[in-house]
């Protein structure tokens, strides 16, 4: 038997679905607080010193945190090529806005303190706000559109066609449900950023972060509850009918998919997945409570649990769908029919087993070395403070 055939294609597909989820959750837990701090910057820090304190809480780690985003994009490209092709084509303008914001962020980090002009620094501070707020919002909007289905279809030769116009490719994404999920993401990541500032700063910056973090957490909590009710009663789900081939070729047109019922019907079939939304609600509620009661480490840990639960609930609710089609349900991409070959998935898995622990160990070491609060003295008297 050839080595890569030791693991079945069915198992490899599930493993890579799990790994994609892990990478996205890892990105939200790490780069999420970077984006949250950036979006909070003009509101939690009023003076130049206060803003330098806030920036220096994420300055040494944001580049490493962004690795999770790169890994996630790479995983989609290599493990799920049809997903990469359709999503990056259909969401092109939204993706461009996200990438523009993410490109603006490092420029702002590097150039903000190059000039002492208050106006110069204020402009770059608002650039950091855009670099944090725009991705935090658009990522959630994208999830809302995926849950509703995306207007694409495949021809008989598997050529992907996205039916949207300019309006559909950007402005059309801003429908009411997607805006709601965008607010959930926005509130959740800003609360996460506030929890990070509470850990890394003290004084007025930390106190402002607490107050704003509580409000952002309430926005995320209320939005998450409303989105769940909306999914239950206002949005049709998707289901595979007939014989489901889990180890067949990667051809979405071979599957029979219908759009009916509710997404939440799967909780009757797989009740164990209810643990995900329970963790989501528990994490958000306890993070809000921790921020209000004066906790330091606990709000950050609870916030991470909330992120885990919220993102996991989306993936587990949709399984095995990863990108449904609103205009041609049969073209919907699922775990069973949108992956790369067995050999590709196996080689990538071996590489992941080797390199992911190295990334985790290095990340843990960096946070251990840089642990501790950032103070005014650190940013004014330390010649190595470049932000």
Given pLDDT bands bounded at 50, 70 and 90, which one contains residue 110? confident
- The CA distances from residue 45 to 63, 217, 278, in Å, are 22, 19, 34
Domain count, the chain: 1
Residue 215 within any structural domain of the chain: yes
Would you state the structure tokens that stand for residue 362, as one six-digit string?
Answer: 């290095």
pLDDT above 70 coverage of the chain, percent: 95
Residue 130 within any structural domain of the chain: yes
Least confident of 216-220, 322-326, 366-370: 366-370
pLDDT (average), residues 100-123:
88
pLDDT of 299 higher than 60: yes
Residue 44 within any structural domain of the chain: yes
Query: How far, in Å, CA of 224 to CA of 218, rounded?
Result: 10
pLDDT of 78 higher than 80: yes
- The CA distances from residue 127 to 111, 189, 280, 365, in Å, are 11, 18, 31, 30
pLDDT of 90 higher than 80: no
Mean pLDDT of the residues in the chain:
89
pLDDT tens digits, one per residue of 227-251: 999 999 989 999 988 888 888 888 8
pLDDT for 241 equals 87
pLDDT of 384 higher than 70: no
Query: How far, in Å, CA of 231 to CA of 318, rounded?
Result: 11
Least confident of 25-29, 61-65, 147-151, 292-296: 61-65
Residue 310 within any structural domain of the chain: no
pLDDT of 385 higher than 60: no
Place of tokens 């009757």: 268
pLDDT for 363 equals 86
3-state secondary structure 215-262: HHHHHHHHHHHHHHHHHHHCCEEEEECCCCCCCCCCCHHHCCEEEEEE
pLDDT for 33 equals 92
pLDDT for 170 equals 67
Residue 2 within any structural domain of the chain: no
Q: Pairing mode, if any, of strands 236-240 and 257-262?
A: antiparallel
Give the phi and the psi of residue 323 in degrees, each rounded to 5.
-155, 95
pLDDT for 95 equals 86
Phi-psi sector, 262: left (phi>0), alpha (psi -120 to 50), beta: beta
Query: How far, in Å, CA of 243 to CA of 255, rounded?
Result: 8
pLDDT tens digits, one per residue of 171-214: 778 899 999 999 999 999 999 999 999 999 999 999 999 999 99
Query: How far, in Å, CA of 263 to CA of 175, rounded?
Result: 19
Residue 383 within any structural domain of the chain: no
pLDDT (average), residues 22-34:
92
pLDDT of 383 higher than 60: no
Place of tokens 């080689």: 347
Would you state the structure tokens that stand for residue 335, as one six-digit string?
Answer: 């775990």
Residue 366 within any structural domain of the chain: yes
pLDDT for 17 equals 95
pLDDT of 380 higher than 90: no
Given pLDDT bands bounded at 50, 70 and 90, which one contains residue 136? very high
Of 384 and 152, more confident: 152
pLDDT for 2 equals 65
pLDDT for 38 equals 94
Would you state the structure tokens that stand for residue 12, as one six-digit string?
Answer: 């490899």
Note down the domain range covering 34: 8-234+341-372
pLDDT for 381 equals 76
Residue 19 within any structural domain of the chain: yes
Query: The whole model's pTM is what?
Result: 0.92
pLDDT for 214 equals 97
pLDDT (average), residues 138-152:
92
């Amino acid at each position: 038997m050839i080595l890569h055939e030791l693991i079945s294609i069915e198992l490899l597909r599930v493993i890579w679905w799990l790994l994609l989820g892990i990478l996205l959750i890892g990105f939200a837990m790490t780069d999420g607080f970077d984006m949250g701090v950036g979006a909070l910057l003009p509101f939690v820090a009023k003076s130049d010193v206060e803003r330098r304190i806030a920036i220096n809480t994420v300055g040494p780690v944001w580049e490493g945190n962004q690795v999770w985003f790169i890994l996630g994009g790479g995983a989609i490209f290599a493990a799920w090529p049809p997903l990469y092709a359709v999503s990056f084509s259909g969401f092109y303008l939204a993706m461009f806005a996200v990438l523009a914001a993410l490109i603006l962020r490092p420029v702002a980090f590097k150039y903000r303190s190059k000039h002492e002009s208050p106006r110069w620094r204020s402009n770059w501070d608002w650039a950091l706000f855009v670099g944090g707020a725009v991705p935090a919002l658009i990522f959630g909007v994208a999830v809302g559109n995926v849950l509703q289905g995306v207007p694409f279809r495949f021809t008989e030769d598997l050529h992907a066609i996205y039916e949207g116009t300019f309006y559909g490719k950007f402005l059309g994404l801003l429908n009411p449900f997607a805006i709601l999920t965008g607010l959930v993401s926005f509130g959740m990541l800003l609360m996460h950023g506030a929890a990070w500032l509470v850990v890394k700063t003290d004084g007025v910056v930390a106190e402002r972060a607490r107050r704003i973090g509580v409000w952002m957490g309430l926005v995320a909590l209320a939005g998450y509850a409303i989105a769940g009710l909306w999914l239950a009663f206002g949005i049709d789900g998707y289901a595979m009918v007939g014989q489901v081939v889990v180890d067949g070729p990667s051809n979405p047109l071979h599957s029979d998919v219908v759009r009916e019922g509710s997404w939440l019907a799967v909780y009757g079939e797989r009740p164990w997945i209810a643990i995900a939304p329970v963790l989501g609600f528990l994490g958000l509620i306890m993070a809000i409570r921790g921020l209000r009661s004066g906790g330091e480490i606990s709000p950050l840990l609870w916030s991470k649990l909330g992120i885990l639960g919220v993102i996991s609930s989306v993936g587990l609710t949709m399984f095995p769908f990863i990108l449904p089609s609103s205009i041609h349900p049969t073209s919907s991409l699922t775990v069973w029919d949108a992956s790369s070959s067995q050999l590709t998935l196996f080689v990538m898995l071996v590489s992941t087993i080797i390199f992911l622990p190295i990334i985790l160990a290095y990340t843990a070491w960096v946070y251990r070395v840089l642990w501790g609060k950032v103070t005014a003295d650190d940013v004014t008297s330390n010649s190595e403070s470049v932000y």
